[in-house]
């Protein structure tokens, strides 16, 4: 799916570049336009958030009090806290103001501030998603480069097959299989959580304990997402290898290795970088299921747990955060393309 | 960086002369041309070994799905008639073992093929329809120099961007939870959240098509927007759309497994995702690991098959991409 | 010349073996009795062995006892706070906890409680009657969250005053036996008086000051909580130093963790996972009947407390015959066998059988045993004839019912296709919809349902459970969103209400009689179909910990997560440690492994056995040696 997105992004970029060379003045203008565009998208997300989470669901007041009999006074008090019962435009304005102040409401389940719940869950997810993204990118790109360069070789054929299998694998399935075999039967890894239940210790011992718990979930996310990068990097490189300037370089007598390192790879690398950014949305989805399987206390697990109540304020908060993260990542990826793609920067 | 082909095979080399020496009507000529193109296309596709193997696997899977009532009695899905030991490993009578209700995992797998493929195809249909519509309209109006056209294009592209950016799973989770989980809701949700990629690609292709001379001719002859889009732009984006469709099905099948695993699926009708979710909830590792492995492997096989066929299609349709295989 | 004879060597060897064998048999008895202190010290000194980790699918989501509602919340509150009373470990009578004794006036309207002396809060401040009075007064504040939370206990109290340092006098509006069982956590006045009613909703109570056997050391909301034992607890020092409650999202992971030994106790495992632990070395399984039941509820005619009909329930269900037919059509024993994997009991009345005093058991002739033929006959007689597609029709309307299932219950989700199948077989069309708890609550409140499945946990005091079926617990307010009461069947029977008020003023055997009458009424009218009483499935590492105080006091009682009891936590100790570590603690007289006879006889028994074994071995050895000598001598003589 992300491949399709990448093709679309390339197409969009090509189209933009086709409208003429971008001078330095034009460059800053383009950047401004892109940033504004991202801001508008974020605003649309906020609107959608409001609609999905505050307008659609049933009256939460009863859920809050767990069905104990409410007096009219209590009902009023709850409505006031959550701002329900006011006219919709008023509610929407309050919602915007509150969100900008970082007030994301209170959880329906335990009345804790959503911003606090999210704050607690943020670091574990960043750790997991960040580490696995770095690993999957590095490994995936390496596989793609090697495969693309030595096209048709045994490495290429076997790695492509391996990568295709990974791409087709549901991430939670891989997680369950690894959990049962490596953590269950062989007891090589913990069964879940971020720290040992009996206290992981501090300092170096604590860090080692954390790594030991991080290993399996990180492995799952890495494996499932490196496929994208490998495939795209490979096809990118193959396309690049047909370029004229490479023929020139070879004719000049440059060694293959140099040709590869200095010319082909950097140019082929760019779409991969863009892809990392575009792919973030999917990696987050992967994090939701993986964190659940491994009881990893991050945002993904928070979403899953809130899903069943359903704890709408928390769902709303995580949804907003995920969307914002993806918008920003997309913006960065887009800007990178604008700044570094030689075909776009012609001034 | 390469971009989606600006050419399409429908504009390929001139057709072979029809055997009869009679002069044929333009329509018959067009038909013969198309037939020849199809034959050429098939011959090329057949040469791609990976694509062919994918196609064979798909054919087998679809056959299994269609023949489900013949292959496995639907009574086997009703737990009140299941008397076997639950969570039992593979045996002669139950080649894939039994699930927590004592039903045969193999029976569920076969019927699951039917429902999973149904969800995959239907959701893809929705996704492709919306994506193609948005892409063609945006591409067509975007190439008009008038401001109104540009505006339409921009608006549609903003919407597409939003759908591209919004993380699919959280959105799907919320919508399904709000409306209430069922197979129909999952199909709708997946369809509504995955059309953006298609729209982008179709739009790029449509923009390229718009620059072709015969379209200008059609405009000069007074063809309206609808006629242009339907008669000229759409047929030319079709081949790429087809390849994209196949690839999208792979994605929707994976998406369905995730949503069912999260408990948003239909508790009564089994899909492979449903089986995986049940295996997770009722405890895998309680005796029948095959209950977890079988649907997962089935999903991998089918998704791989779709991906291989889709890539092969792309290669055949776009000469530039052929070299990548 | 003497031929070397190998046989004597064998005999000597045999003698030696016999001696060793005897010593080996006697050794454990000798060692255990000779040096118990040394051995238990060796077992408990590594800090690992006194950390007790409990795995559960629920977590503590707040430390504010007025806001929590999950079973995990209550489990922890009872460890960091003391209630005024608890249910006794052996019976369900109110047992002294912070209240050592109490009495009431002749008219039953004034109650005097004596508070335990010498108890200190975890911050060192002494606990006095003032804290008790403050807590109760706070709980009875009208229209407060506190009142809504503890109404079942404090509903009748009109005032609570500390008349001395250790005496509290409470006045009630009407006599109620609940005053013998005030299971309300007592809070420190000096902390809580600073929290106003308004602040209550956001007060997190992160460093709770309590008087209970454990204190909180680290807490991650919704994940895990780590408690440290209070060595100065008035009820005795706990046998474990650290107690951890860890939440698992993945049920399989919890099972694996127990099998690996990473956790010490697993709660809330599904029946399949629990069964799969059978045969795992070091793991003991507990199949404990608990006070729970799961039911299929009918829409008996949804209406508000004013009698105004609401909702869109199928009117067919108002006919008791249709409800009977449904009950006869369900093969509930199959559910017990296949879904519960035989860890439960066929369901009848709403007070579960573990409450032997109150449970009503219908005679076999009136029980709704699986009888599809009878079900069909009943429907035929009621005018429901089988129509096209096998669905019954009457007056042009199909007998089509909606079945709502909670997506948060794996067992109920698994039950749904069975119920659908059985009802289809007698000609009722069923549409199954899975939904969240809150959505279902809203639908029930508005009467927009036909059938649904849910469950209840019944307390030893049946009052609340009985009240659910009174007319006054139906929805109230105005549409389109009615406010739900506790009734989820909309059963309304004035005769039932009368009996309910009657039993509120009774106690003991007379009360039990009325309660059983009420259950019979509900059963005959088929307000609910109680499907089964699911057991609580627990498992723990018996090779690492022992000393539990099960409730009821049987091998298959609940070991933890008991009905308003927390004694077991203070009685647990590492396996191999001396029972004396905890068996003097209050409530631990019947812990597992408790030595009930004087220890001296134990030593004697072992010692005698050991000495006897050695004696026998020595005797055997001696006989062998002697007989060899004789043989040799004989051989010598022969030569």
Tell me the shortest Cα–Cα distance from A99 to chain B, in angstroms.
Answer: 18
Helix B196-210 with B105-142: angle, nearest 10 deg: 40
Quote the Cα angle for C102-C108-C111, to 5°: 30
Quote the Cα angle for C226-C228-C232, to 5°: 160
What are the mean pLDDT values of chain A's consecutive 10-residue runs (347 residues total)? 52 48 65 84 83 62 43 54 67 81 75 83 90 90 86 86 90 89 81 74 82 92 88 79 70 71 70 71 79 89 80 84 84 76 51
Q: What is the DSSP letter of C492?
A: -
Average predicted confidence (pLDDT) for chain B: 80
- pLDDT number for residue C618: 47
C136, pLDDT greater than 90: yes
Alpha-carbon span A225 to A48, nearest angstrom: 28
CB contact under 8 A, C432 and B267: yes
- Measured between beta carbons, the chain C residues lying within 8 angstroms of B268 are 416-417, 420, 432
Q: What residues contact C404, with CB distance under 8 A and at least 6 apart?
A: C433, C434, C435, C440, C443, C449, C451, C452, C453
**For residues A168-207, b (16+ Cβ closer than 10 Å) or e, as one string?**
bbbbbbbbbbbbbeebbeeeebbbbbbbbbbbbeeeeeee
B12, pLDDT greater than 50: no
Alpha-carbon span B84 to B94, nearest angstrom: 9
- Measured between beta carbons, the chain B residues lying within 8 angstroms of C434 are 180-181, 263, 266-267
C252, C255, C422 member nearest B80 (Cβ): C422
Contact (Cβ atoms closer than 8 angstroms) between residue A277 and residue A133: no
Q: What is the DSSP letter of C94?
A: E
CB contact under 8 A, C445 and A62: yes
Tell me the shortest Cα–Cα distance from C219 to chain A, in angstroms.
Answer: 12
More confident residue, C310 or B312: C310
Alpha-carbon span C430 to C114, nearest angstrom: 58
Q: Is C532 on the interface with B (CB under 8 A)?
A: no
Tell me the whole-structure pTM to 2 decimals: 0.78
DSSP C425-457: HTT-EEEEEEE-HHHHHHHHHTT--SEEEEEEE
Pairing of strands C51-56, C265-267: parallel
- Helix or strand or coil: residue C171? strand
C453, pLDDT greater than 70: yes
CB contact under 8 A, C410 and B281: yes
A7, A176, A308 member nearest B4 (Cβ): A7
Q: What percent of chain C is modeled with pLDDT above 70?
A: 85
Tell me the shortest Cα–Cα distance from B279 to chain C, in angstroms.
Answer: 10
Say what the ipTM of the complex is: 0.80
Of the residues B267, B279, B292, the best mutation for testing chain C's interface (the one with the most C CB atoms within 10 Å of its CB) is B267
- Measured between beta carbons, the chain B residues lying within 8 angstroms of A290 are none
Which residue, A218, A224, A235, is CA-closest to A166? A224
Q: What residues contact C491, with CB distance under 8 A and at least 6 apart?
A: C300, C469, C522, C525, C527
Angstrom CA distances, A167 to A144, B13, C129, stand at: 14, 37, 67
Residue bearing tokens 């973030």 = A280
DSSP C300-367: ---B-TT--B-S---GGGGSHHHHHHHHHH--HHHIIIIISTT-EEE--SSS-TTSTTT-----GGGS
CB contact under 8 A, A172 and B261: yes
Which residue, A108, A172, A118, is CA-closest to A325? A118
DSSP A268-315: HHHHHHHHHHHHHHHHHHHHHHHHHHTT--SHHHHHHHHHHTT-HHHH
Tell me the shortest Cα–Cα distance from C582 to chain A, in angstroms.
Answer: 22
CB contact under 8 A, B262 and A165: no
CB contact under 8 A, C223 and A297: yes
Pairing of strands C167-172, C110-115: antiparallel
For residue B63, the tally of other CB atoms under 10 A from its CB is: 12
Q: Picking from C158-172, C214-228, C584-598, C616-630, which range would have the lowest pLDDT averaged per residue?
A: C616-630
| Radius of gyration for the alpha carbons in chain C, expressed in angstroms and rounded | 31
Q: Picking from C308-317, C512-521, C566-575, which range would have the lowest pLDDT averaged per residue?
A: C566-575
CB pairs under 8 A between A and B: 186
Q: Picking from A186-190, A235-239, B47-51, B87-91, which range would have the lowest pLDDT averaged per residue?
A: A235-239
C8, pLDDT greater than 50: no
CB contact under 8 A, B1 and A40: no
pLDDT bracket for residue C449 (50, 70, 90): very high
B167, B204, B320 member nearest A8 (Cβ): B204
Task: Please state whether C314 falls in left (phi above 0), alpha (psi between -120 and 50) or beta.
Answer: beta
C67, C247, C260 member nearest A187 (Cβ): C260
- Measured between beta carbons, the chain B residues lying within 8 angstroms of A308 are 263
Which other chains touch chain C, taking contact as 3+ CB pairs less than 8 Å apart? A, B
C354, pLDDT greater than 50: yes
Chain B: residue whose CA lies nearest to A232: B324
Angstrom CA distances, B255 to A168, B169, B182, B250, B262, stand at: 11, 8, 15, 9, 11
Chain A: residue whose CA lies nearest to C485: A69
Tell me the shortest Cα–Cα distance from B309 to chain A, in angstroms.
Answer: 12
C511, pLDDT greater than 90: yes
- Measured between beta carbons, the chain C residues lying within 8 angstroms of A187 are 260
Chain B: residue whose CA lies nearest to C259: B285
Rounded to 10 degrees, the C-alpha dihedral A33/A35/A37/A40 comes to -140
Residue bearing tokens 């490196």 = A226
- Measured between beta carbons, the chain B residues lying within 8 angstroms of A334 are none
Which other chains touch chain A, taking contact as 3+ CB pairs less than 8 Å apart? B, C
Alpha-carbon span A171 to A83, nearest angstrom: 39
A1, A44, A176 member nearest B197 (Cβ): A1
Tell me the shortest Cα–Cα distance from A8 to chain B, in angstroms.
Answer: 5
Chain A: residue whose CA lies nearest to C56: A295
With residues binned 3-state (H G I as helix, E B as strand, rest as coil), the percentages for chain B, rounded to 5, are 75, 0, 25
Rounded mean pLDDT of C456-469?
87
Tell me the shortest Cα–Cα distance from C100 to chain A, in angstroms.
Answer: 32
Tell me the shortest Cα–Cα distance from A202 to chain B, in angstroms.
Answer: 34
CB contact under 8 A, B204 and A12: yes
Quote the Cα angle for C137-C139-C145, to 5°: 140
More confident residue, C383 or A316: C383
- Measured between beta carbons, the chain C residues lying within 8 angstroms of A120 are 220-221
- pLDDT number for residue A199: 63
SS (H, E, C) C530-561: EEEEECEEEEEECCCEECCCCECCCCCCECCC
Q: Picking from A231-245, B94-108, B182-196, C486-500, which range would have the lowest pLDDT averaged per residue?
A: A231-245
Of the residues C247, C249, C255, the best mutation for testing chain A's interface (the one with the most A CB atoms within 10 Å of its CB) is C249
For C10-62, the pLDDT digits (tens) are 444 444 444 434 443 444 343 333 333 332 332 222 346 689 999 998 888 88
Tell me the shortest Cα–Cα distance from B111 to chain C, in angstroms.
Answer: 16
- Helix or strand or coil: residue C185? strand
More confident residue, C436 or C154: C154
- Helix or strand or coil: residue C85? strand
Alpha-carbon span C87 to C460, nearest angstrom: 9
């Amino acid at each position: 799916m992300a491949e399709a997105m990448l093709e679309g992004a390339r197409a969009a970029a090509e189209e933009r570049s086709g409208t003429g060379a971008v001078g330095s003045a034009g460059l800053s203008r383009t950047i401004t336009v892109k940033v504004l565009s991202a801001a508008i998208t974020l605003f649309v997300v906020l609107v959608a958030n409001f609609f999905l989470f505050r307008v659609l669901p049933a009256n939460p007041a009863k859920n809050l009090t767990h069905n104990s009999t409410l007096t009219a006074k209590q009902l009023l008090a709850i409505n006031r806290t959550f701002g329900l019962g006011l006219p919709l435009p008023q509610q929407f304005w309050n919602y915007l103001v509150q969100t900008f102040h970082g007030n994301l409401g209170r959880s329906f389940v335990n009345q804790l501030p959503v911003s606090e719940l999210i704050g607690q869950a943020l670091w574990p997810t960043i750790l997991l998603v960040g580490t696995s993204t770095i690993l999957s990118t590095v490994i995936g790109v390496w596989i793609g480069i090697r495969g693309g360069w030595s096209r048709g070789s045994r490495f290429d054929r076997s790695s492509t097959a391996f990568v295709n299998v990974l791409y087709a694998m549901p991430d939670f399935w891989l997680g369950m299989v690894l959990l049962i075999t490596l953590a269950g039967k062989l007891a090589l890894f913990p069964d879940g959580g971020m720290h040992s239940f009996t206290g992981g210790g501090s300092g170096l011992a604590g860090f080692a304990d954390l790594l030991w718990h991080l290993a399996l979930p990180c492995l799952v996310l890495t494996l499932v997402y490196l496929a994208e990068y490998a495939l795209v990097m490979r096809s990118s490189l193959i396309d690049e290898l047909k370029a004229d300037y490479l023929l020139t370089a070879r004719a000049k007598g440059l060694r293959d290795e140099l040709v590869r390192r200095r010319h082909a790879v950097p140019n082929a690398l760019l779409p991969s970088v863009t892809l990392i950014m575009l792919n973030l949305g999917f990696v987050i989805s992967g994090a939701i299921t993986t964190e659940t399987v491994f009881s990893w206390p991050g945002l993904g697990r928070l979403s899953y747990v809130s899903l069943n109540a359903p704890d709408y304020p928390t769902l709303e908060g995580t949804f907003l955060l995920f969307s914002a993260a993806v918008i920003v990542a997309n913006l960065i990826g887009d800007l990178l393309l604008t700044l570094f793609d030689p075909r776009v920067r012609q001034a | 960086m390469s971009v989606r082909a600006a050419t399409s095979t429908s504009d390929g080399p001139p057709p072979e002369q029809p055997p009869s020496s009679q002069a044929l009507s333009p329509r018959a000529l067009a038909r013969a041309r198309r037939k020849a193109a199809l034959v050429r296309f098939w011959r090329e596709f057949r040469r791609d070994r990976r694509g062919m193997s994918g196609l064979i696997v798909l054919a087998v899977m679809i056959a299994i799905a269609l023949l489900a009532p013949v292959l496995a009695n639907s009574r086997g899905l009703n737990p009140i008639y299941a008397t076997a030991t639950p969570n039992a490993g593979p045996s002669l009578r139950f080649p894939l073992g039994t699930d927590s209700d004592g039903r045969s995992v193999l029976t569920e797998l076969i019927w699951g093929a039917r429902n999973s493929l149904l969800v995959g195809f239907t959701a893809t249909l929705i996704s492709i329809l919306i994506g193609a519509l948005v892409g063609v309209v945006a591409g067509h109006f975007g190439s008009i120099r008038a401001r109104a056209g540009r505006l339409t294009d921009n608006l549609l592209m903003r919407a597409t961007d939003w759908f591209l950016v919004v993380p699919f799973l959280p959105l799907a989770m919320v919508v399904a939870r709000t409306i209430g989980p069922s197979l129909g809701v999952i199909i709708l949700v997946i369809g509504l959240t995955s059309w953006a990629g298609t729209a982008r690609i179709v739009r790029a292709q449509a923009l390229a098509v718009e620059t072709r001379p015969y379209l200008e001719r059609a405009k000069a002859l007074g063809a309206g927007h609808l006629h242009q889009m339907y008669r000229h732009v759409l047929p030319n984006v079709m081949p790429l759309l087809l390849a994209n469709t196949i690839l999208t099905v792979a994605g929707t099948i994976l998406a369905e497994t995730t949503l069912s695993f999260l408990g948003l699926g239909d508790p009564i009708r089994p899909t492979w995702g449903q089986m995986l979710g049940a295996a997770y909830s009722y405890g895998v590792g309680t005796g029948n690991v095959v209950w977890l492995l079988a649907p997962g492997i089935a999903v991998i096989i089918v998704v791989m098959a779709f991906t291989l066929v889709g890539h092969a299609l792309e290669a055949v349709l776009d000469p530039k991409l052929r070299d990548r295989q | 010349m003497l031929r070397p004879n190998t046989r004597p060597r064998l005999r000597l060897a045999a003698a030696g073996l016999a001696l060793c064998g005897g010593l080996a048999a006697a050794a454990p008895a000798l060692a255990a009795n000779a040096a118990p202190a040394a051995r238990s010290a060796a077992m408990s000194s590594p800090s690992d062995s006194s950390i007790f980790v409990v795995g559960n699918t629920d977590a503590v989501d707040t430390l504010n006892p007025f806001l929590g509602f999950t079973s995990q919340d209550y489990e922890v509150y009872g460890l960091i706070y003391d209630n005024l009373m608890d249910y006794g470990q052996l019976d369900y009578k109110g047992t002294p906890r912070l209240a050592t004794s109490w009495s009431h006036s002749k008219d039953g309207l004034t109650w005097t409680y004596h508070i335990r002396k010498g108890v200190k809060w975890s911050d060192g401040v002494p606990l006095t009657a003032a804290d008790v009075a403050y807590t109760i007064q706070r709980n009875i504040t009208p229209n407060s969250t506190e009142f809504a939370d503890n109404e079942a206990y404090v509903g009748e109290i009109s005032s609570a005053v500390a008349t001395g340092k250790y005496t509290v006098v409470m006045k009630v509006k009407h006599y109620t036996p609940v005053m013998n069982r005030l299971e309300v956590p007592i809070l420190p006045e000096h902390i809580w008086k600073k929290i106003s009613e308004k602040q209550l909703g956001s007060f997190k109570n992160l460093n709770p000051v309590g008087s209970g056997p454990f204190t909180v050391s680290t807490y991650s909301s919704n994940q895990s909580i780590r408690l440290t034992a209070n060595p100065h607890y008035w009820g005795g020092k706990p046998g474990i130093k650290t107690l951890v409650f860890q939440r698992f999202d993945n049920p399989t992971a919890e099972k694996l963790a127990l099998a690996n030994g990473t956790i010490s106790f697993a709660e809330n495992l599904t029946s399949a996972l629990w069964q799969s632990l059978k045969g795992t070395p070091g793991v003991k399984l507990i199949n404990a009947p608990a006070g729970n039941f799961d039911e299929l509820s009918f829409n008996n005619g949804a209406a508000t407390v004013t009698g105004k009909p609401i909702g869109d329930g199928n009117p067919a269900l108002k006919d008791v015959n249709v409800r009977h037919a449904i009950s006869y059509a369900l093969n509930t024993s199959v559910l017990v066998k296949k879904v519960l994997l035989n860890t439960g009991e066929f369901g009848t009345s709403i007070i579960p059988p573990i409450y032997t005093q109150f449970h009503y058991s219908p005679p076999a002739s009136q029980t709704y045993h699986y009888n599809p033929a009878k079900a069909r006959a009943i429907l035929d007689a009621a005018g429901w004839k089988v129509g096209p597609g096998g669905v019954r029709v009457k007056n042009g309307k199909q007998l089509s019912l909606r079945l709502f299932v909670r997506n948060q219950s794996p067992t109920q989700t698994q039950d749904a296709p069975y119920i659908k199948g059985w009802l289809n077989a007698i000609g009722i069309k069923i549409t199954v919809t899975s939904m969240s708890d809150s959505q279902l609550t809203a639908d029930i409140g508005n009467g927009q349902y036909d059938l649904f499945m849910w469950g209840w946990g019944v307390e030893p005091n049946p009052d609340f459970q009985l009240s659910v079926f009174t007319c006054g617990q139906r929805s109230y307010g105005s549409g389109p969103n009615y406010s739900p009461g506790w009734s989820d069947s909309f059963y309304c029977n004035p005769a039932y209400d009368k009996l309910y008020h009657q039993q509120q003023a009774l106690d003991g055997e007379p009360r039990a009689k009325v309660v059983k009458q009420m259950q019979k009424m509900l059963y005959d009218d088929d307000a609910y179909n109680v499907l089964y009483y699911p057991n609580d499935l627990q498992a723990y590492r018996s090779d690492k910990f022992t000393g539990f105080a099960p409730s009821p006091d049987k091998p298959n009682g609940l070991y933890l997560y008991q009905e308003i009891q927390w004694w077991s936590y203070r009685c647990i100790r590492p396996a191999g440690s001396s029972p004396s570590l905890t068996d003097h603690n209050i409530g631990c007289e019947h812990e597992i492994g408790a030595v009930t006879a004087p220890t001296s006889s134990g030593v004697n028994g072992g010692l005698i056995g050991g000495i006897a074994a050695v004696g026998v071995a020595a005797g055997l050895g001696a006989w062998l040696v002697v007989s060899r000598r004789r043989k040799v001598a004989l051989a010598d003589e022969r030569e």
